[in-house]
Amino acid sequence: MFIVHDYYQAVFFCIVTMICWGSWANTQKLASKTWRFELFYWDYVLGILIFSLLSAFTLGSIGQEGRSFVTDLQQAEWGNIGSALFGGIVFNAGNILLSAAIAIAGMSVAFPVGVGLALVLGVVINYVTAPKGDATLLFTGVALVTVAILVNAWAYKLKNTGKVDKANTKGIVLAVIAGVLMAFFYRFIAAAMDLDNFVAPEVGKMTPYTAVFVFSVGILLSNFVFNSIVIKRPFVGEPTSYAAYFKGGFRTHLTGILGGMIWGLGNSLNLIAAGKAGPAISYGLGQGATLVAALWGVFIWKEFRGSAVNVNGKLAMMFVLFVVGLGLIIYAGQ
C-alpha cells in the first residue's frame, strides 16, 4: 500500500485535506437551490463510501509495504472494526447537524463555529491519547484558532445591525453541538490503526485504507437511523420523504455524491498522513477546513454581503488568527 515517509509530505496531504473538508459543502450549496439538505445528505454518504472503496482497491492494495486491503480486512480484530464503525456513527451524528447548520446559517458561520470547535477539542483529545509534536506550539496555535472562532461569532452577531433571528440562532446551536460530536470521531478511527508502523502494522490493527472503509460503512448504517429521523422531523421547513429522494435528477444526485467523494479524499489523505505527523497535528491541520469554508462563504457565496465596515474588520481578524494558528500547528510537528 502507499505510505507517507516524509513529514512535509504528510503536511501537504493535510493541506489537501483542509481544502477538501472546507470545500465539500459547496456541493450542498449548489444542490440546495432545488434540493433539501436531508436528501442531499444521502448522496453525500454514498460518495464517501464509494471513494473509500476506490482508495482501498488502488492505493491501499499496491506496493510491497504494509498489508493490502483485502488481507488487512480479513485479519482485523472485531474490537478494532467496532472502533472504526463507532467513529463513523459519531461522525455522522455530528455531520448531519453541521449540514443542518450550513442550511440555516451558511458556510461562513457554521464551519468556523462547528468545525473550529471540533478542531480545538479534537486536537486536545488526540494529543492526550497519542502525544506527538511540540505541545507549547501546538496548543498556542489551537488557542489562536479559538480566538478566531469567537471573532467569527462576534462578526455574525454584528451582521445586520446586530440582530440574529431565531432560526439563525438555531443554526449556531446546531453548529456547536456538531463541533462537540465531531471532535471525538477521529480518535475512534485512529485507535483502530497501528499509527506507529504502517509498514508492518500490528496484527489485528488496520491500515488507514481499511479503517476508512469500515468507518464509511458506519456512516452508511447509521444514516438509516439519523437521516430517517431528520427527513420526518426536520430542523427547519416541512418534512420530506424518500419518495422525493428518488424523484431527484441525475445531476442532482451526482452533486451530492461528488461532495461525499471530496470529503472522502480529504479523510483518506489525513489518516495516511497521521502515521508520520501524529493524529493531533494531522487532525488539527485537516480541520483548518474552517478557514477554507469561511473563505468560500464570504467571498464566493457573499454570506456577509452588505455588512458594516466593522463586521468586515472582524472577518479579516478571524482569517489572520486562523492562518497564524495553523502555521504554529504545522511548526509544532517538526
Provide the 10 A C-beta neighbour count for residue 69. Answer: 25
Q: What residue has cell string 440546495?
A: 32
What confidence tens digit (pLDDT) does each residue in 322-333 have? 889 888 988 887
Model confidence at 310, pLDDT cuts 50, 70, 90, reads confident
Q: Would you state the pLDDT for residue 209? A: 97
What confidence tens digit (pLDDT) does each residue in 196-244 have? 999 999 999 999 999 999 999 999 999 999 999 999 999 888 899 999 9
Q: Would you state the pLDDT for residue 166? A: 61
**pLDDT > 90? residue 133:** no
What confidence tens digit (pLDDT) does each residue in 93-122 have? 999 998 888 888 777 778 778 888 888 898
Task: Report the candidate in 85, 276, 104, 265 with the shortest Cα–Cα distance to residue 177.
Answer: 104
Q: What residue has cell string 464570504?
A: 298
Q: Would you state the pLDDT for residue 39? A: 94
Q: Are 118 and 94 in contact (CB under 8 A)?
A: yes
What are the residues whose beta carbons fall under 8 Å from the beta carbon of 149, sequence distance 6 or more?
112, 113, 116, 117, 120, 290
**pLDDT > 70? residue 269:** yes
Model confidence at 168, pLDDT cuts 50, 70, 90, reads low
d(CA 12, CA 269): 9
Q: Would you state the pLDDT for residue 155? A: 78
